[in-house]
Amino acid sequence: MEDEFAFISRISPNETKQHTLICGIGDDAAVYRSSSHMDEVICVDTMVEGVHFRRDTLSPFQIGKKGLAINISDLAAMGAIPAFYLVSIAIPPTWSESELMDIYKGMESVAKPFNMDLIGGDTVSISESLVLTVTVIGRVEQGQAKYRNQAKAGDVLFVTGYVGTSAAGLNLLLEKGLDGDFTEHEKKLITFHQEPSPHVKEGRLLLQATKRVALNDVSDGVASEANELAEASQARIIIDSEKLPIHESMKEFSRTQQLNWALFGGEDFVLIGTIAKERADQIAKQFSEHNARFHVIGFVEEGETGVFLKEGNAIKKLEKHGYNHFQKRG
Amino acid sequence: MEDEFAFISRISPNETKQHTLICGIGDDAAVYRSSSHMDEVICVDTMVEGVHFRRDTLSPFQIGKKGLAINISDLAAMGAIPAFYLVSIAIPPTWSESELMDIYKGMESVAKPFNMDLIGGDTVSISESLVLTVTVIGRVEQGQAKYRNQAKAGDVLFVTGYVGTSAAGLNLLLEKGLDGDFTEHEKKLITFHQEPSPHVKEGRLLLQATKRVALNDVSDGVASEANELAEASQARIIIDSEKLPIHESMKEFSRTQQLNWALFGGEDFVLIGTIAKERADQIAKQFSEHNARFHVIGFVEEGETGVFLKEGNAIKKLEKHGYNHFQKRG
For B189-233, write each residue's pLDDT tens digit.
999 999 889 999 999 999 999 999 999 999 989 999 999 999 999
Give the residue with greater pLDDT, B20 vs A155.
Answer: A155
Given a cut of 90, is residue B325 above it in pLDDT?
Answer: no
What pLDDT score was predicted for residue B320? 79
CB A164 within 8 A of CB A65: no
The band of B36, judged by pLDDT with boundaries at 50, 70 and 90, is: confident
Given a cut of 50, is residue A330 above it in pLDDT?
Answer: no
What pLDDT score was predicted for residue A29? 84
What pLDDT score was predicted for residue B11? 33
Q: Which chain B residue lies closest to A10 (C-alpha atoms)?
A: B43
> What are the beta bridge partners of residue B45?
B134
Given a cut of 60, is residue A200 above it in pLDDT?
Answer: yes
Where are the domains positioned within chain B? Answer: 6-141, 155-327
Contact B140 A31 (CB under 8 A): yes
User: What's the whole-number average pLDDT of chain B?
Assistant: 88
Contact B88 A44 (CB under 8 A): yes
Min distance A193 CA to chain B CA atoms (Å): 20
What pLDDT score was predicted for residue A251? 94
The ipTM of this complex is: 0.86
What pLDDT score was predicted for residue B238? 98
Which residues, 6 or more positions from B306, have their beta carbon under 8 angstroms from its beta carbon? B227, B230, B236, B237, B317, B318
Given a cut of 70, is residue B13 above it in pLDDT?
Answer: no
Q: What percent of chain A has pLDDT over 70?
A: 89
Min distance B10 CA to chain A CA atoms (Å): 12
The band of B317, judged by pLDDT with boundaries at 50, 70 and 90, is: very high
Which residues, 6 or more positions from A9, have their beta carbon under 8 angstroms from its beta carbon? A87, A89, A118, A120, A121, A122, A123
Q: What percent of chain B has pLDDT over 70?
A: 89
Pairing of strands B236-240, B306-311: parallel
Mean pLDDT of A182-211: 95
Amino acid sitting at position A282: Q
A179 marked among binding-site residues = no
Q: How far apart, in Å, are the Cα atoms of A104 and each of A18, A89, A116, B134?
A: 21, 10, 13, 20
CATH number of A6-141: 3.30.1330.10
Which residues, 6 or more positions from A214, have their beta carbon under 8 angstroms from its beta carbon? A146, A147, A148, A149, A150, A151, A155, A229, A232, A233, A235, A273, A274, A275
Amino acid sitting at position B27: D
Instruction: Report DSSP state, residue A53.
Output: B
Given a cut of 50, is residue B180 above it in pLDDT?
Answer: yes
The band of A36, judged by pLDDT with boundaries at 50, 70 and 90, is: confident
- Chain pair A-B, CB pairs under 8 angstroms: 197
Mean pLDDT of B89-112: 96
From chain A, the residues in CB contact with B140 under 8 A are: 31
Q: How far is CA B113 from the centre of its chain?
A: 16
Of the residues B23, B27, B225, B320, the best mutation for testing chain A's interface (the one with the most A CB atoms within 10 Å of its CB) is: B27
Contact B29 A41 (CB under 8 A): yes
What pLDDT score was predicted for residue A27? 64
CB B136 within 8 A of CB B32: no
What pLDDT score was predicted for residue A302? 96
Q: How far is CA A327 from the centre of its chain?
A: 31
CB B24 within 8 A of CB A147: yes
Given a cut of 50, is residue A131 above it in pLDDT?
Answer: yes
What pLDDT score was predicted for residue A20? 52
Interface of A with B in 88-117 (CB under 8 A): 88-90
Given a cut of 50, is residue B7 above it in pLDDT?
Answer: no
CATH 3.30.160.20 fits A155-327, yes or no: no
A56-114 per-position pLDDT tens digit: 889 999 999 999 999 999 999 999 999 999 999 999 999 999 999 999 999 999 999 99
Q: Which chain B residue lies closest to A145 (C-alpha atoms)?
A: B31
> What are the beta bridge partners of residue A329?
none
The band of B15, judged by pLDDT with boundaries at 50, 70 and 90, is: very low
Contact B28 A128 (CB under 8 A): no
Cβ burial, residue A71 (10 Å; 0-12/13-18/19+):
buried
- Chain B CB within 8 Å of residue A39 CB: yes
What pLDDT score was predicted for residue B1? 32
A56 marked among binding-site residues = no
Q: Which chain A residue lies closest to B225 (C-alpha atoms)?
A: A27
A45 marked among binding-site residues = yes
Q: Backbone phi, then psi, for A191, in 5-degree steps?
A: -65, -40
Alpha helix (H) residue ranges in chain B = 60-76, 97-111, 165-176, 184-194, 200-209, 222-233, 255-264, 280-289
What distance in Å separates the CA atoms of residue B82 and residue B57, rounded to the nearest whole number? 27
Given a cut of 50, is residue A26 above it in pLDDT?
Answer: no
Interface of B with A in 229-258 (CB under 8 A): 231-232
Contact B133 A133 (CB under 8 A): yes
Which residues, 6 or more positions from B24, have their beta carbon under 8 angstroms from its beta carbon? A78, A145, A147, A148, A149, B30, B31
The band of B299, judged by pLDDT with boundaries at 50, 70 and 90, is: very high
Of the residues A46, A123, A136, the best mutation for testing chain B's interface (the one with the most B CB atoms within 10 Å of its CB) is: A46
Contact B125 A46 (CB under 8 A): no
Q: What is the DSSP string of A136-180?
A: EEEEEETT----STT--TTEEEEESS--SHHHHHHHHHHHH-TT-
Going across the sheet that includes B271-276, the strands are B214-217, B271-276, B155-159, B295-301, B236-240, B306-311, B314-319, B322-327
Mean pLDDT of A20-45: 76
Vertex B50, ends B119 and B11: CA angle to 5°? Answer: 10
Least confident residue range of A15-19, A23-27, A298-302, B235-239: A15-19
Mean pLDDT of B118-129: 92
Q: What is the DSSP string of B55-68?
A: TTTS-HHHHHHHHH
Which residues, 6 or more positions from A289, have their beta carbon under 8 angstroms from its beta carbon? none
